[in-house]
Chain A
Amino acid sequence: MRGVESNDTDFLPPDVAFRIAARLDGKVVKIRWVIADGYYLYRSKIDVKAESPDLVVSTPELPAGTVKTDPYLGTQQVFTQQVEAIVPYTRLDAGAHPIQMKVTYQGCAEAGLCYPPITKVVFPTAGSPPVAANVPPYPWESVAIIAGAFAFLLAGLVLRKGRKLDIPT
């Protein structure tokens, strides 16, 4: 007998619902979440801790969120669309170790589903796009580029076929 398949794909996987990115910007690390439509992050559930040795992390600075009132959980501030946390830090190792921070956050879908707290270790570097462990890459960017490039190559070949160089003799 064929089993019943789950419909959990009706909701986005947490790494897609809440896409996290971090980068170094001087004396702070900026951690940004891009939040899918219909999803939100709890402001009070965002926490950042030092992961690498000899790193001291201050309390993240977060903007005020949107007030959300739930009959059971009461009033909460939540973030939708995107939010950036500014995290001041001090290195006591004179740069001997790469900076790593452990970031915890938690959110839900408006449609009535909540994800357990998510913890990621981020490796922010200056000017780089942020890197977070376990964030799945998307192959479609490269597919799009390759398809476009292939099309132009084919077009070039079609135009070139049969063309004679007009070399003066």
Chain B
Amino acid sequence: MSSGGLRYLGAALIVLVGIWLGAKFHLGRHDHDGVAVPAGVASTPHATEDLALQAVEGPQAVVPAKLPDFSLANLAGKSTSIASWNGKSLVINFWATWCAPCQREIPLLKTLATEWADRNLTVVGIAVDHPDKVREFAGRFKIDYPVLVGEQDALDVAGQFGMASPAFPFTVFTDQRGEVVALFVGELHRPQADFILSQVQSLNQDRIQLAEARRAIAQALSAMADKPG
């Protein structure tokens, strides 16, 4: 091929690469705009390395490895520390009265609270809402597990779990040593809860290591998210 032909070939290649780069960035933007990645995958140190690739914007929130210390009012208005349940595994569910998926979760949470009561596990609801609304709601829905409530102070607690601008619901699972095993964003369903709690129980019985449990949860929930229903 002549040198002139090579130059034309090189120029065409450069143009094509430029167009490809431009299209890649442009399409990448629209992917972020309109496509929601699978919801409801528990976060673990291992899982989030993949999830981070799907991040939309901004720094990823970091959830503490250990349950932070905080206090909020209970439904009677008495300040209650989360340390009240030290030594128990916890399912800490953040919710609000205006949130439909939060309401849909409540029967499951009540069931879990009953089924796991004899296995050293407590469900604690944290309502980020006006206390009067929460009291009325808790009565109407016959919520029989402990509920803490707050507005800005509850938002601050959500922030301690890395959810500085939270959407609801989200649920934190800890083992009886206070290790945060998983943080699940979105509506919790029975298969997901069962799997996470089975790992929590294995941790409590020293049958697996924390990292192993987190990895197993990440893999299982990713698979569930890929096969909804």
In the assembled complex, the Cα of A70 lies from the Cα of B98 at a distance in Å of 12
The majority secondary structure among interface residues of chain B is: mixed
Residues in B whose Cβ lies below 8 Å from that of A2: 45, 65
> B7 near A: Cβ within 8 Å?
yes
In the complex, the answer to whether A109 meets B39 with C-beta atoms within 8 Å is: yes
In the complex, the answer to whether A19 meets B33 with C-beta atoms within 8 Å is: yes
> A167 near B: Cβ within 8 Å?
no
In the complex, the answer to whether B65 meets A155 with C-beta atoms within 8 Å is: no
In the assembled complex, the Cα of A155 lies from the Cα of B23 at a distance in Å of 18
> A148 near B: Cβ within 8 Å?
yes
| Contacts A5-B62, A10-B51, A73-B103 given; does A151 touch B15 at CB 8 Å | yes
Total inter-chain residue pairs, C-beta < 8 Å? 207
B220 to chain A, nearest CB (A): 14
In the complex, the answer to whether A151 meets B14 with C-beta atoms within 8 Å is: yes
In the assembled complex, the Cα of A142 lies from the Cα of B151 at a distance in Å of 41
- Cβ contact of A14, chosen from B29, B44, B60, B167, cutoff 8 A: B167
A6 to chain B, nearest CB (A): 4
> B56 near A: Cβ within 8 Å?
yes
> A3 near B: Cβ within 8 Å?
yes
In the complex, the answer to whether A1 meets B32 with C-beta atoms within 8 Å is: no
B22 to chain A, nearest CB (A): 4
In the complex, the answer to whether A8 meets B185 with C-beta atoms within 8 Å is: yes
> A116 near B: Cβ within 8 Å?
yes
In the complex, the answer to whether B41 meets A7 with C-beta atoms within 8 Å is: yes
> A93 near B: Cβ within 8 Å?
no
B155 to chain A, nearest CB (A): 9
> A169 near B: Cβ within 8 Å?
no
> A46 near B: Cβ within 8 Å?
no
Residues in B whose Cβ lies below 8 Å from that of A145: 22
Q: Which of chain A's residues 130-151 have a Cβ closer than 8 Å to chain B?
A: 136, 138, 140-141, 143-145, 147-148, 150-151
In the complex, the answer to whether B64 meets A9 with C-beta atoms within 8 Å is: no
B 162-196 to A, binary, CB cutoff 8 A, 1 in contact else 0: 11011111100000000010111111000000000
In the complex, the answer to whether A5 meets B14 with C-beta atoms within 8 Å is: no
- Cβ contact of B18, chosen from A9, A109, A150, cutoff 8 A: A150
> B87 near A: Cβ within 8 Å?
no
> A28 near B: Cβ within 8 Å?
no
In the complex, the answer to whether B11 meets A9 with C-beta atoms within 8 Å is: no
In the assembled complex, the Cα of A112 lies from the Cα of B187 at a distance in Å of 5
In the complex, the answer to whether A108 meets B65 with C-beta atoms within 8 Å is: no
Residues in A whose Cβ lies below 8 Å from that of B98: 106, 114
Residues in B whose Cβ lies below 8 Å from that of A147: 18, 21-22, 25
> B152 near A: Cβ within 8 Å?
no
> B229 near A: Cβ within 8 Å?
no
- Cβ contact of B163, chosen from A6, A16, A112, cutoff 8 A: A6
Residues in B whose Cβ lies below 8 Å from that of A113: 39, 101, 167-169, 185-187
A23 to chain B, nearest CB (A): 20
In the complex, the answer to whether B57 meets A16 with C-beta atoms within 8 Å is: yes
Residues in A whose Cβ lies below 8 Å from that of B47: 7
In the complex, the answer to whether A6 meets B61 with C-beta atoms within 8 Å is: yes
In the complex, the answer to whether B103 meets A72 with C-beta atoms within 8 Å is: yes
| Contacts A72-B100, A116-B96 given; does A10 touch B10 at CB 8 Å | no
The 10 closest A-B pairs by CB, nearest first: A151-B18, A112-B187, A111-B39, A7-B43, A6-B61, A144-B22, A155-B11, A72-B103, A140-B29, A112-B101
13 A-B contact pairs sorted by A residue (CB < 8 Å): A4-B64, A6-B161, A7-B48, A7-B51, A7-B183, A9-B51, A16-B57, A36-B36, A138-B29, A140-B28, A147-B18, A155-B14, A162-B3
